[in-house]
Amino acid sequence: MQTSIFGKPLSEVIIQDVKIFCDKQVREGINLDYKSDLTSKSLLKTMAAFANTRGGFIIAGVDDEDDKPKLPVEGMEWKESLPLSVTSMIVDNMYPYLSVDVHVCEPENGKTFVLIYVPESHEAPHWLFNRSQLYVRRADRAGHTDWERFATDGEWDFLRNKRERSVELRKQALEAVKDIFEAENRTDKRKDSRVLIGPDIKPIYHLGMLRTVLVPLFPREIMCDVQTLNIHLMNERIPTLLPGYEYPQVDSQTKVFQEGAYKYEAGTRGLATNFSLLTRSGVVATYERVLQEQENEPNDFIYFGPALASVEATLRYAGKLYDKLAYTGSLMCNVSLVTLDNTALLLTDRPQRPYTSLRNLQGYFAWKIEPTVSDLNDPTTRTEILYEIVQEFTRSFGYAGNSDRFVDEWLDRSGLYPKSS
């Protein structure tokens, strides 16, 4: 969980915590600001400046005097729409979009405080008002009226280059996943075999592997050490939508490499069946063989349930890991499948003949979304993500209807998504 300036996760902060903090008379600075309300343009300037500089916390509902809270602090009027007003302000006035954590304290006597955590953004520079204004945060505002100031040309170049470096780092992180998987599969995994498969031989091990890969949209260099990832992959498991199954499903020992840790398992034919990987730059990857090969049948097939379970478990597991690593930003999530032409998709638990009702004629599926960590950890928004992925997945097999009901059936059956009363 993201630990805040209050010594606890932001979501657990109550009004009394804010009052105690304000009593300490902590001055505003490069990463702390007080706001009396959420209506002024200065809130937008502060959020953008924090994102473009070092990140920071905003406490709304506090008047300041000489950069310190004016006592006694009383808060602001509580409204159910307070979180939405912050989001709407960003959507309407900032580019690119900035993901922030907003927490509204449980109100007392109609008053509350709104706490906003703005991470340092690797999507910077963040512009305001039709891309006309670019702000950074001052380290000291002595002699100045505002903490925010316009960025210089040099700072604009720095922010742009920082973003480009993050994009390149993301590409390298995703290439590392492919390289490890390729290296494992270039060795014949059949019993008693030590044969290396030559690079000139066309690989078939990727066929039928459903790949779900998440990475920070603009990653930092290192999020944690390899040992932490190795321990996490060894010890942390979560139940899946399939009764009796856990994620990661691989029972083999973890392996470490320079950038992270992974588990890999191959079947009796030497083909990969499961591959789970975590890296220091924040990659969470799952490759799972979902293709069911059938002898003497016109089509191989894929069960819908296991495919959905693989994607869902990866999203949920990733959300928990990012929380543990205190990462709260945006993500890139790629879900893809390369399989044989005319592979059938079975929406039921048992094979049905003929396998011609739903078929992927091209043998390929790929979809990309950009959720936030909070999206992964919220059951409602995570379900919406699954709806989107599955809708495109079933369409690649020729299904023209609404596939949400198939997702709902599996989520309800699992007991992991209790219905609200």
Give the helix ranges, DSSP H, for 7-106: 15-23, 41-52, 82-93
Q: Rounded to two decimals, what is the model's pTM?
A: 0.71
Q: What pLDDT was estimated at residue 187?
A: 64
Give the pairing of strands 255-257 and 260-266.
antiparallel
* Residue among 187, 303, 308 at smallest CA distance from 255: 187
Q: What pLDDT was estimated at residue 123?
A: 79
| CA separation for the pair 69, 73 (Å, rounded) | 7
| CA separation for the pair 15, 106 (Å, rounded) | 7
Instruction: Render each residue's pLDDT in the chain as its tens digit; 421 residues.
Output: 445 788 888 888 999 999 999 999 999 999 899 999 998 788 999 999 999 998 899 999 999 999 999 999 999 999 999 999 999 999 999 998 888 989 999 999 999 999 999 988 877 899 999 889 999 998 887 777 788 888 888 888 888 787 788 888 899 999 999 999 988 887 655 444 444 444 444 455 678 899 999 998 878 768 899 999 999 999 999 999 999 999 997 677 899 999 999 999 987 777 788 999 999 999 999 999 998 876 655 567 888 999 999 999 999 999 999 988 878 777 899 999 988 777 888 887 655 554 445 776 677 899 999 888 888 988 999 999 999 999 999 999 888 889 999 999 999 999 999 875 4
Q: What pLDDT was estimated at residue 196?
A: 44
* Burial category of 27 from C-beta neighbours within 10 Å (exposed 0-12, middle 13-18, buried 19 and up): exposed
Q: What pLDDT was estimated at residue 394?
A: 92
Q: What pLDDT was estimated at residue 197?
A: 44
Q: Please give the distance of CA 164 from its chain centroid, rounded to a whole number.
A: 20
Q: Given CA atoms 374, 375, 380, 383 in this order, what sign does their dihedral have? A: negative
